[in-house]
Structure 1
Amino acid sequence: MKTIKIFDPALCCPTGVCGPNVDPELTRVASAIFILEKKGFPISRYNLANDPAAFVEHKEVNQVLHEKGPEALPLVLVDGKVEKAGSYPSNEEFASWLGVEVKELTPDKPRNTLL
């Protein structure tokens, strides 16, 4: 099973989906990760503000940051290899890497039961 590690820029909280101006892209990524984790896929996220040691310990991440600077974040490792830098993976990329259907990464919308 493939492992995914996401190295986030400095965010206000571990997921980055807090505060008055929530970025819809962070919400989409957090939702996809939640769904994938429920399916048993190993996905880790590291926030530069909360876990700077992880950025130093992973030589691939450290190298990219030295070459490209913080603009390279977010950075995604799949099985230890840099697969994406500078933006979050699309649902299609998550699906391709992990062998799932894209539609599985879209949460069910609540149904209105009021008549």
Structure 2
Amino acid sequence: MTGEDEEVTTNDKFLSSPNGAYSSGFKPITHQEFLRSSRARRRYWARSYAGWRQFTATQPSATHTALATLDKAGRIDLMITQNVDRLHHRVGSNPLEMHGTIYTVICIDCGYSFCRSLFLDQF
């Protein structure tokens, strides 16, 4: 199982790294709050838009590459990640994504699913 440790080495602005958002009092929006409050949804999308370019510019770390090498050599039976960033995919791994991916957006009204970049790149 992979998770946040790989991300801290990749991007020092990750949520719980010493310079990350949690260190400055950031409070994430819960799923229930997002569904219940249009204000929470606006806050979420504003933050998402503000960080999208930096998020998508983040490159896989040496750890991602090493795990991909082990995966391709058949040394990993099943890779599971808690990360939503798809950095493992960029180096050729195909992990099971425990929390899904941030690259897919699903409309809460109709269930339509689409690529987040199609939405955020137009602004």
Fold-level match, TM-score > 0.5? no
Give TM class, smaller chain: under 0.3
More strand by share: 1
More helix by share: 2
Higher relative contact order (CA 8 A, sep 6+): 1
TM-score, length basis structure 2: 0.24
